[in-house]
Amino acid sequence: MDLPTLWFLLIAVLWTGYLVLEGFDFGVGMLLPVLARRREERDQMVRAFGPVWDGNEVWLLVAGGAMFAAFPNWYASMFSAMYLPLLLLLVCLIVRVLAIEYRRKVDDPRWTDRWDRVLTISSLGAPLMAAVGLANVVHGIPLDAGHDFTGSLLDLLNPYALLGGVAVIALFLLHGATFLGLRTDGELRPRARTLALALWPVATVLVAAFGLWTLLGASDVARGISLAGTVGVLLAVIGLAGTGLALRAEREGIAFAGTALTIAAAVIVLFAQLWPNVLPSTGDPAGTLSVAETASSPYTLKVMTWVAVLVTPVVLLYQGWTYWVFRHRVSAEGFPPSVGGDAPAAGPATGD
């Protein structure tokens, strides 16, 4: 395997890690006004992902950095063409951080409620922008022979990209609900499982429609149905079927693994159908960017590979250790009262 191909696959892995890990805390954020019936339960939901959300975002930073270093022309054309959606993604991520950190900084229930609404909106906006952007990368955008964007914002809001955005939101809602079923205790746990059962058929239909559209030809530049794309669709079917069966059997761990597998399978389908291109052109065919022609020099890729080999195991071990330390269930009664709230006195957190 040559280095450009290797780094194309590594970027797919990085996006998989980001969407699987950040997907559940996006889902939890969107579910705040749906599942929580009191402020203490909103605290419980936020604290369920509180120790790991910032580590999850590192995957996005590394994915973006790897694209910039390994395929600079891909990075430049994509970011210039999708400037507005990516700017909105960045704004949502920044505002979301503020909401998580500031929601309990003032002794006023209204302050907390407002920041919780901000958290919900930003948790919806960020994955929507990311999904629309990735879908447009696979679908293709109007580029001229110089790889300059010749379209408008409306070209990015095509039916395929919009379906991808809606499918990802539905899948992340399901992912977040299964995560809460796995990580929370008390009244919230059965409520999350019930909601996940209601979300499951909706997410299944939307993900299946988006996956089949991707496999059968999201872009005119695509090389047809790929073996890896077909495998990805089959894995998504297995993941969704396993999630539905596990939810009915009240096996939250298996249900969460099923939604994680489905997200990973969706990324496999997208990148498999994109290969050997990195950005198809729906305008001038000469504007299509391929893996081979956009890759950095062999020396740059070789240095990046050695850095990845040395650093990646350390990062994975550290993040795995973090998840292990904070693996226990959280309860609304196991934390100090909300600022300005009326929660009972703090008690020991329950484990599982």
Query: What is the rounded distance in angstroms from the CA atom of residue 107 to the CA atom of residue 266?
Result: 43
On whether residue 221 sits in a domain, the answer given is no
* pLDDT at site 28: 95
User: Splitting the chain (352 residues) into consecutive groups of 10 residues, what average pLDDT does each group show?
Assistant: 90 94 94 90 90 88 91 89 90 94 85 93 94 90 86 87 94 96 90 94 94 78 72 92 93 94 94 90 85 91 92 89 88 55 38 38
How many folded domains does the chain comprise? 1
* pLDDT at site 175: 96
On whether residue 81 sits in a domain, the answer given is yes
On whether residue 350 sits in a domain, the answer given is no
Domain span holding position 102: 3-187+276-326
On whether residue 343 sits in a domain, the answer given is no
What does the pLDDT look like over 183-224, one tens digit per residue? 998 889 999 999 999 999 999 999 999 998 988 876 655 556
Query: What is the rounded distance in angstroms from the CA atom of residue 183 to the CA atom of residue 48?
Result: 6
**CA dihedral sign, ordered 255, 257, 258, 260:** positive
On whether residue 230 sits in a domain, the answer given is no
On whether residue 118 sits in a domain, the answer given is yes
* pLDDT at site 247: 93
Percent over 90 (pLDDT), the chain:
53
Distances (CA, A) of 272 to 84, 116, 172, 269, 277: 26, 38, 22, 5, 10
On whether residue 198 sits in a domain, the answer given is no
Model confidence, pTM: 0.89
On whether residue 15 sits in a domain, the answer given is yes
What does the pLDDT look like over 25-81, one tens digit per residue? 999 999 999 998 888 888 899 999 988 888 888 899 899 999 999 999 999 888 888
